[in-house]
């Protein structure tokens, strides 16, 4: 009686097993695939105390650069020098049309001659009236009138002589002469052009000391001061450094570029061999605190509470974790980290807002080379300002 029931039990067990297998297969199909590791760009913190000097591009200038201009206006009829010409004190550089100036001088000379004649007549009249007054042939008031006329004639003669001197000087101002020995650094006008009094015609680079003109960024101005030591490297002489110092630092920023003009005086060996207009690179040692680290500004992350943090990659485990840090001075491209990091850490320098703690990553350097636990920091990165 029990035999017919055994196939039913066996068939039920098989059906149950098939159902379990179907459920397991469905769950396996619904499971999300494993997330691939994210590639992140990493860099080591830079030790500011050992960082190479910041480099600023500049060019060689004369310490004394004199803009030259005529003291009068007129038509420029001749230009005797070109840019780069060496001139000596007193050399004629340019000439204005002297025609009108000669006529003015002649008119002033004629007025002076007329004033001298009037003075001679007034003096003679005064002497005659004085003689007649002694014999009481003229009144005292008439004599006083002649004395006053003589004083007036003397004043007019002095004024006419002064006008003659001015007119002669004006004729001399038609020639622009070099005030010092030097080199013509620039030329602003050409022959045939009408120039105004005081308008810059040329710029004279006076012989003597040479300097490097550079521009310092506004964000780093506090790190530099007058008298600070620098090193100068000419573009045509790489590797050779000339010592110098910051001689001048502008107190006002350029309204367009928002940079501060600075002049670097050359004092070391080779300073007398630089040529005007040469390009140079000036290396300045910033006054940063010893032992402080800095990271790229893009590596800095802020939490909801405003606290600063960075992502540090564990290249051996292939993961990242968030590290709270204390930051200091913010620069144009880097930020100083005063605590929380060590020079051996690999900091994620970009894309930190897309990461989470413990996420699998593949760390690469700026050249897209994989980073390992034994990879040393590239020297060029360490020297990056």
- 66-92+178-205 CATH: 2.40.50.100
For residues 280 and 58, is the Cβ–Cβ distance under 8 A? yes
Residue 116 pLDDT:
85
User: Would you state the structure tokens that stand for residue 342, as one six-digit string?
Assistant: 């060590």
Residue 202 pLDDT:
92
Delimit the domains of the chain by residue range. Answer: 38-50+290-382, 54-62+208-284, 66-92+178-205, 99-172
Burial 294-315 (b: 16+ CB within 10 A, else e): bbbeebbbeeeeeebbbbbbeb
**Is the pLDDT confidence value at 358 over 60?**
yes
State the average pLDDT over residues 30-38: 69
- Sequence-distant (≥ 6) Cβ neighbours of residue 16 within 8 angstroms: none
Residue 9 pLDDT:
55
**Is the pLDDT confidence value at 271 over 80?**
no
- Sequence-distant (≥ 6) Cβ neighbours of residue 234 within 8 angstroms: 240, 242, 274, 278, 279, 280
Instruction: For residue 93, name the pLDDT band (cuts at 50, 70, 90).
Output: very high
Nearest in space to 249 (alpha carbons), one of 287, 211, 280, 278: 211
Instruction: For residue 380, name the pLDDT band (cuts at 50, 70, 90).
Output: very low
Q: What are the pLDDT digits (tens) for 130-184?
A: 888 887 888 888 888 888 888 888 888 888 888 888 877 777 788 899 999 999 9
Nearest in space to 82 (alpha carbons), one of 205, 13, 183, 208: 183
Cα separation of 353 and 108, whole Å? Answer: 83
Superfamily (CATH H level) for 99-172 = Helix hairpin bin (1.10.287.470)
**Is the pLDDT confidence value at 196 over 80?**
yes
**Is the pLDDT confidence value at 49 over 70?**
no
Which fold would CATH assign to domain 54-62+208-284?
Elongation Factor Tu (Ef-tu); domain 3 (2.40.30)
* Beta strand 46-47 pairing with 361-364: unpaired
State the average pLDDT over residues 321-333: 82
Instruction: For residue 382, name the pLDDT band (cuts at 50, 70, 90).
Output: very low
Residue 312 pLDDT:
92
| Residue 335: CA count within 13 A, CB half-sphere | 19
More confident residue, 212 or 367: 212
Residue 33 pLDDT:
64
Residue 203 pLDDT:
92
Stretch among 31-45, 140-154, 234-248 having the lowest mean pLDDT: 31-45
**Is the pLDDT confidence value at 129 over 50?**
yes
Q: In what order do the strands lie in the sheet with 326-330?
A: 46-47, 293-296, 334-339, 326-330
H helix or E strand, kind and range, residue 121: helix 99-134
Stretch among 43-57, 151-165, 167-181, 344-358 having the lowest mean pLDDT: 43-57
Tell whether pTM > 0.75. no
**Is the pLDDT confidence value at 43 over 60?**
yes
**Is the pLDDT confidence value at 216 over 80?**
yes
- Token look-up 């004369």 returns 62
- Sequence-distant (≥ 6) Cβ neighbours of residue 64 within 8 angstroms: 180, 205, 206, 208
State the average pLDDT over residues 199-208: 90
Instruction: For residue 385, name the pLDDT band (cuts at 50, 70, 90).
Output: very low
**Is the pLDDT confidence value at 39 over 50?**
yes
Residues of the chain with pLDDT > 70, as a percent, come to: 84
Residue 2 pLDDT:
46
Summary mean pLDDT of the chain = 81
Residue 200 pLDDT:
92
More confident residue, 348 or 224: 348
- End-to-end CA, the chain: 96
Residue 52 pLDDT:
43
- 38-50+290-382 CATH: 2.40.420.20
């Amino acid at each position: 009686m029990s035999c017919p029931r055994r196939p039913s039990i066996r068939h039920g067990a098989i059906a149950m097993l098939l159902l379990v297998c179907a459920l397991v297969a469905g769950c396996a199909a619904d499971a999300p695939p494993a997330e691939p590791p994210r590639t992140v760009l990493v860099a080591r913190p830079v030790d500011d105390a050992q960082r190479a000097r910041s480099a600023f591009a500049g060019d060689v200038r004369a310490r004394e650069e004199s803009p030259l201009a005529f003291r009068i206006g007129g038509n420029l009829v001749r230009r005797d020098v070109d840019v780069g010409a060496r001139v000596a004190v007193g050399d004629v550089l340019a000439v204005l049309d002297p025609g009108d100036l000669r006529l003015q001088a002649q008119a002033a000379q004629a007025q002076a001659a007329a004033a001298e004649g009037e003075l001679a007549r007034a003096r003679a009249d005064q002497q005659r009236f004085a003689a007649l007054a002694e014999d009481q042939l003229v009144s005292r008031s008439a004599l006083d009138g002649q004395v006053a006329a003589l004083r007036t004639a003397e004043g007019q003669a002095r004024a006419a002589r002064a006008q003659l001197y001015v007119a002669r000087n004006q004729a001399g101002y038609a020639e622009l002469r070099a005030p010092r020995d030097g080199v013509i650094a620039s030329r602003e006008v050409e022959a045939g052009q009408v120039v105004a009094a005081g308008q810059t015609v040329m710029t004279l680079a006076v012989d003597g000391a040479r300097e490097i003109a550079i521009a310092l960024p506004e964000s780093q101005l506090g790190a530099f001061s007058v008298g600070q030591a620098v090193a100068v490297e000419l573009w045509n002489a790489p590797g050779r450094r000339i010592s110098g110092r910051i001689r001048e630092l502008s107190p006002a920023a350029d309204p367009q570029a928002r940079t501060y003009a600075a002049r670097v005086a050359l004092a070391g060996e080779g300073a007398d061999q630089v040529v005007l207009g040469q390009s140079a690179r000036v290396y300045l040692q910033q006054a940063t605190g010893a032992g402080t680290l800095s990271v790229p500004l893009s590596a800095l992350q802020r939490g909801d509470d405003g606290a600063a943090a960075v992502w540090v990659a564990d290249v051996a485990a292939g993961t990242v974790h968030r590290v709270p840090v204390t930051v200091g001075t913010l620069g144009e491209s880097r930020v100083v980290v005063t605590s929380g990091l060590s020079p051996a850490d690999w900091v994620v320098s970009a894309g930190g807002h897309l990461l989470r703690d413990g996420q699998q990553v593949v760390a690469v350097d700026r050249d897209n080379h994989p980073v390992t636990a034994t990879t040393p920091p590239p020297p060029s990165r360490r020297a990056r300002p």
